[in-house]
A and B are shown apart, each in its own frame.
Chain A
Amino acid sequence: MKQLNEVIKEVAAQSLSRGEVDLVIGWKKGDLWWQSYPAFVEGDEGVADLIWDPFCVPNLSRYLLEELDDKSKVAIFVKGCDALGFNQLLQDKRVEREKVYLYGIPCDGLVDPRKLEAAGHKWLSEVRRDGDELVLVSKEGEQRVKARDFMYDKCLTCRYPNPVTYDQMLGEAVEAQPQERFAGVEELEKISDDERFEYWARQFSRCIRCFACRNVCPACSCRECIFDIPEPRWLGKAKELSEDQFYHIIRAYHVAGRCVDCGECTRVCPVDLPLQELNRKFIKDINELYGEYDAGVDPETEAPLVTYNTNDPAAFTES
């Protein structure tokens, strides 16, 4: 990973100095060891800040929506999930392929700082990836732990660690080792309607409606969002269970069939709602009813809910 860290600086400096792109979107280190933030580099001065480390989790493709407005060409770094998100934006005709240069980064899973913290690894100065292990650097010295124990849950179920689309691939492709991604949904399907209602009511009632899940989502790219428009005001302002239900059902429904299952919604949620389970319920049902479909893999295909077959099955009795 150290190596890749140098490569991204090189390619960014190159394309900027040659004038091939106006902007490079990558990641830079935040103030603390577990923070890696999006970086927007327009000239040589920012290039040295660019990094690739086990915390580079923010999906950069979504930033193209704003950046492409006044730029003729933008380069971004994409992990496997970011590339799916990019393809989704392409499919939704929200970005133009010619205006973007993609540096693909094979990603072997990113580290959830909260899992480290829960295991007592709190005051670190750096975390490095070395093969299947993480090197935790602190004042006391270095410690090696198994990387998979500290990866984001969404990374444990990742099926596309290598970008599905790119202009230039940086680094060697890695092997996907996905766990079953519908396990959580299946657990919930087993319990009774009332228990499920209690579960989700408890979850939804914690929502502070910050809309972070919407704002981060590569499938939520409408210029005007139904939750923002004043007339008709679909979503009330009151903190009331039925309004929370409305928000979460409609948010998940609006990305149904287009959700690339990148799990960013769950990651950014400040109150830890298991939002990915909602999206996965739709993915699972659509797969069962209308055939396997992986959003973001091929931008030329049609999303399952904007098309039909005359002999489709239904989830209600047809008579």
Chain B
Amino acid sequence: MSVSAEEQAFEPLIIVFGCNWCSYAGGDLAGTSRMSYPPNVRVIRVPCSSRVSPNFVLRAFQRGADGVLVAGCHPGDCHYVTGNYYARRRLSALRRFLEFIGIEPERFEVHWISGSEGAKFAKVMGEVTEKIRALGPNRKMRDVR
């Protein structure tokens, strides 16, 4: 049996929905501070973590993401005052539900990263990438067409 090219060198694709006010700025800080984090991570900027609809998460998985991460301001620090409180409830419900459908819960993560936590941003991205690399490619919710 030959090993497919994909398995030979599996590089996970991780989609990060980063809140404009904290986590995206945290990512910027990581960059301007010359901290490196894995290039597997693709950041999509959203106005607020509560902007992340489950549609986005599922679509990312469908189109080839191996892991999805939502990053927002710490509770209490939301630019819109309450957005991440809503996000916490909704994304918690979604995470448990994805697990119920059979998707490994590690594939969908939520982290609070502030604009001053460039180091944390880089660290979280590294950890998540390694976790997903160990888990292998997402074959459970992928549009195979």
Interface set of A (CB-CB < 8 Å, partner B): 185, 188-189, 193-201, 226, 234, 238, 240-243, 245-246, 249-250, 252-253, 256-257, 278, 281-282, 285-286, 289-290, 304-306, 308-310, 312-316, 318-319
A314 partner residues in chain B, CB cutoff 8 A: 88, 91-92, 110
A238 partner residues in chain B, CB cutoff 8 A: 145
Q: Is the CB of A249 within 8 A of B102?
A: no
Given contacts A304-B89, A308-B85, A310-B85, contact A281 B97 (CB under 8 A): yes
Once the chains are docked, how many angstroms separate the CA of A246 from the CA of B144? 14
Once the chains are docked, how many angstroms separate the CA of A255 from the CA of B72? 25
Q: Check if B10 is an interface residue, CB within 8 A of chain A.
A: no
Select which of A195, A198, A315 is within 8 A of B93 by beta carbon: A315
Select which of B75, B96, B103 is within 8 A of A285 by beta carbon: B96
**Interface residue SS majority, chain B:** helix
Once the chains are docked, how many angstroms separate the CA of A306 from the CA of B87? 10
Q: Is the CB of B91 within 8 A of A242?
A: no
Interface set of B (CB-CB < 8 Å, partner A): 54-55, 58-59, 61-62, 75-76, 82, 85-86, 88-105, 109-112, 140-145
Select which of B58, B85, B93, B112 is within 8 A of A318 by beta carbon: B112
Q: What are some 20 contacts across the A-B interface (CB < 8 A)?
A: A189-B100, A196-B101, A234-B55, A238-B145, A240-B143, A241-B141, A245-B141, A249-B97, A250-B54, A252-B97, A253-B93, A256-B93, A257-B93, A285-B92, A305-B90, A305-B93, A308-B85, A308-B88, A309-B85, A315-B96
Q: Is the CB of B75 within 8 A of A310?
A: yes
Q: Is the CB of B90 within 8 A of A194?
A: no
**B108: nearest chain-A partner, CB-CB:** A316
B140 partner residues in chain A, CB cutoff 8 A: 197, 201
Sorted nearest first, the 8 A-B pairs with minimum C-beta distance are A197-B102, A315-B92, A308-B85, A196-B102, A316-B110, A242-B143, A242-B62, A285-B96
B102 partner residues in chain A, CB cutoff 8 A: 193-201
B61 partner residues in chain A, CB cutoff 8 A: 242
Q: Is the CB of A312 within 8 A of B101?
A: no
B132–chain A nearest beta-carbon distance, Å: 15
Once the chains are docked, how many angstroms separate the CA of A290 from the CA of B94? 14
A69–chain B nearest beta-carbon distance, Å: 30
Q: Is the CB of A312 within 8 A of B97?
A: no
Once the chains are docked, how many angstroms separate the CA of A316 from the CA of B102? 17
Sample of 13 more A-B contacts, CB < 8 Å, known A195-B102, A242-B144, A312-B88: A193-B103, A197-B102, A197-B103, A197-B140, A240-B144, A242-B143, A243-B143, A246-B62, A278-B97, A281-B100, A314-B88, A315-B92, A315-B95
Once the chains are docked, how many angstroms separate the CA of A194 from the CA of B99? 10
A257 partner residues in chain B, CB cutoff 8 A: 93
